[in-house]
Amino acid sequence: MDQKAQIKWTLNHIPKSDDRQLENMSVAEMEKAGNFHKSFPQYAETPLTPLSGLAAHLGLKHLYVKDESYRFGLNAFKVLGGSYAIARYIAQQLGKDINEMPYAVLTSDRLREEFGQATFFTATDGNHGRGIAWAADKLGQKCVVRMPKGSTLTRLENIAKEHATVTIEDLNYDDCVRLAAKEAKEAERGIMVQDTAWEGYEEIPTWIMQGYGTLAVEADRQLQAYGSRPTHIFVQAGVGSLAGAVIGYFTNRFKEHPPVMTVVEAQAADCLYHSALQADGSRKDITGDMLTIMAGLACGEANTVSWDILRNHASAFVSCPDWVSANGTRIYGSPLRGDKQVISGESGSVSMGLIHAVMTKPEYKALKDALKLDENSEVLLISTEGDTDPGRYLEITWEGLYGSGKEPFAGIL
């Protein structure tokens, strides 16, 4: 196999920090976010799907996938963070607790009189911006979204349908973040709502991560209903916000004996893997166009809040070429007899492609052994999105796009 097509990995040998961010992902904080989301009329718990046939095929005890394609009718999990952050911001401006600000209050005439209207700015590869736009529209607020070059028109149109101002810029993702932040600062009542964090901008990203905690709380309770406790969790990362939220929650949930938790990235934007590889506690950025079919993971600068959690509690960091994601999409879409089909897009499926490769390909036996994956393992995956780009989904599942493990991604087809 071509060197560029190989999965790369490292165990976590990073020196520990003071771990000050972990308490922000406590069970209590995540449940607070969950209660907020339950106040939405569109709320429904997304399914936790057991894949028993695949687990047996791979030599695992249990394999579960949290299917976020059902979230609020938006085909992805991102709305959890954006909606919660917008609500927390409005509550803060009014001097109220988030518990006093359910959906009915946020959409009321009285709230409009007290708070008025702000404009929420963000940058996105697709799902995050759509979630912000949807939440802002539902809550009577305005939204401006900037997308990086290479973004598809399908994703832009999905955002535009939520009544947001949206453009595709000739910039990569991280430069789009800087552009949106500048515009928010210059606009009247402009607020930046981004799921990455940097020095001086950590409060709103922390709220977004707490919002993501809703899916972790749901998954935990669903696993309990199955009589299971996860021994292993694989969670994908762009800037690392979801990974930090999930790993933070389950570290707090199982303080004495947490699961083995692995961070999974797109190889074109594997800033967390390279940060872990240098193993000195500092963050290493990835620059350039970061071309990958995993659009939602094409982020080269790590969230500072999340990085502090991951460096202390992630077990391993894995960098995956595009074929891993494409294979995961096909596995989800073509289940073994008795298993349920899961429609999973490119950013949602990479962890499935990874667990399949680790359990079936001899060249990754060292990783399998390092993670202690065997017939006693109970594995949790998160499919973070459905077919958010339907054309690309069909190219992968019907036409075998990126099936050999040799084709480098050269841009939008």
Which are the catalytic amino acids? Answer: 78, 125
Task: Tell me the β-bridge partners of 167.
Answer: 146
Q: Are 77 and 215 in contact (CB under 8 A)?
A: yes
CB environment 20-40: b (16+ within 10 A), e (fewer) = ebbebbbeebbebbbebbeeb
Residue 95 is which amino acid? G
DSSP one-letter code for 75: T
CB proximity list for 388: less than 8 A, separation 6 or greater? 75, 76, 126, 127, 154, 155, 158, 345
Separation between Cα atoms, residue 67 and residue 351, nearest integer Å: 13
Q: In terms of Cα–Cα distance, which of 126, 84, 130, 122 is closest to 106? A: 84
φ, ψ (nearest 5 deg) of residue 145:
-125, 130
* Burial of 355: CB neighbours in 10 Å, binned 0-12, 13-18, 19+: buried
Q: Backbone dihedral region of 142: left (phi > 0), alpha (psi from -120 to 50 degrees) or beta?
A: beta
* Burial of 333: CB neighbours in 10 Å, binned 0-12, 13-18, 19+: middle
Residue 72 tokens, joined:
């609020």
User: Could you give the 3-state DSSP secondary structure of residue 383?
Assistant: strand
Residue 193 tokens, joined:
């709502």
CA dihedral over 329, 334, 337, 341, signed as positive or negative: positive
Kind and range of the H or E run holding 173: helix 173-186
